[in-house]
Structure formats: C-alpha cells, structure tokens
Amino acid sequence: MTTPGRGLHGRVLDTLGPAITAGEYPPGSVLRTDELAQHFEVSRSVMREAVRVLESMHLVESRRRVGVTVRPKAEWNVYDPQVIRWRLAGADRPHQLRSLTVLRSAIEPVAAGLAAQHATAEQCAELTECALGMVANSRGHRLEQYLVHDIAFHRVVLTASGNEMFARLGDVVAEVLAGRTHHEVMFEDPDPAAVTLHVRVAEAVRAGDASRAEELTRQIAVGALQELDILAP
C-alpha cells in the first residue's frame, strides 16, 4: 500500500524498497533508471526522486555511466523506520524482529531508569495514562487500539530519559511494536503479566525509583524475547 501523500515516487518505493531488502536485487545489482521508469510507467524525474530516497537510506548508490547499484546489507541504514518496515514485511522478519527486540532489551531498561530520575510531572502523567490505556484495551482482541497506547508508552519512556539519543529511537521501537501486531507475531490478547509490568513501570517512574523502573522494563524485554521464541522462532 502506498503511503498517502507520497505520490508516484511513493508507489515506486513501496515496490522497489521491499524488493531490495528482500534480496530480489542482490548487493552489486545494477538498476537502470530508464528501464525502471519504463517498468513502473513513471517519468525519469519521478524515478530519480525514488532513487534519491533509496540513496538516503544507503540501500543503493548512483554513479554516472554505471547506474544505480544495490549496496551491501552492512551499509544499509537499518535504523530507518521505512527500512525496518520493509524488512519486517519480508522473509527476513524473524531475524529482524529478534535483532530489534534485543536492541530494545539493551536500551529501554536504562532509559526507564533515567526516566525515573528525570521525568517531568507531565511525562509521569502521560506514562500513567498510556499504561491505563493498555489495560483498557488488553482484552477482547483489540490489538490495534492496544498498539496505540503501547507505542506512546515506550516513546514517553525514551523521551523522559532526558537522553536525546534514546529519544531518537522512538520511531524504531514504534516500528517493531507495530510489526509484531500487523504481522501477527502477537497473541490474540497481550500477555496480562506484560500489561501489569507496564503499569508498574509507570508507578516506579512516578515514584522516582530508578532501579525498580529499570528492572521492571528488563522483565518486559525478556518477555518479548520469549514471545518471539514461540511465535517467530
């Protein structure tokens, strides 16, 4: 599905990007702009705009007299939310989910501990509101509604840490949480224990208990990895 507002080059990206990340065009493959424009039935200027976006993600590089060359996976911007989304939509999904969840397990507990030390009153209130929203939508197969509050919760934790590097990972965490839901790597209802842990993290942050906030968030991460062992081995 083309992202609204991106026009013709968005349609090209939504086909070409997943094809590259899925390995349909292996590293070193040379793509001819003119041929691609003809294939997608778009102008060369539209094709060049799509290529510029792919270049910004480090998926390809464009050189005169050579064409557009697919770069090695090690050079991709794997933190780009769109690259994450494309990879989660392909055969690489189990590896991608595990890689992202391990990243979360390394970052989010520390961020929660910092949030307990630095969160403002407004951020504490927002965290509590998000946790309660998760509770309210944790039954009755309401995963999409639950997801909204889950993403918001983790964004607040990362932002409230006071560390701008952690805060910038909000989009990455949002993509992995959305990917678990949209690709059915979730139980029909969230694990009640995990929901309760989110509530307790909010309480620990509000109480300024850094060690407890960190430990509870680590338990959430461990639970997420255990879910992957079952649902996406």
159 pLDDT higher than 80: yes
Q: How far apart are CA 164 and CA 64, in angstroms?
A: 38
When mean pLDDT is compared over 70-74, 92-96, 189-193, the highest value belongs to 70-74
Give DSSP secondary structure letters for 74-98.
GGS-TT-HHHHHHHHTSTTHHHHHH
What Rg, from alpha-carbon coordinates, does the chain have?
20
Predicted model pTM = 0.88
Q: How far apart are CA 175 and CA 171, in angstroms?
A: 6
153 pLDDT higher than 50: yes
Q: What is the pLDDT of residues 41-87, one digit of tens each?
A: 899 899 989 999 999 999 999 988 888 999 999 999 999 999 999 99
Query: How high is the pLDDT of residue 201?
Result: 98
Q: How far apart are CA 233 and CA 221, in angstroms?
A: 16
Helix (H) or strand (E) holding 70: strand 67-70
232 pLDDT higher than 80: no
6 pLDDT higher than 80: no
The H-assigned helical ranges of 28-169 are: 33-40, 44-56, 81-88, 93-118, 121-136, 143-160, 164-167
Q: How far apart are CA 60 and CA 71, in angstroms?
A: 5
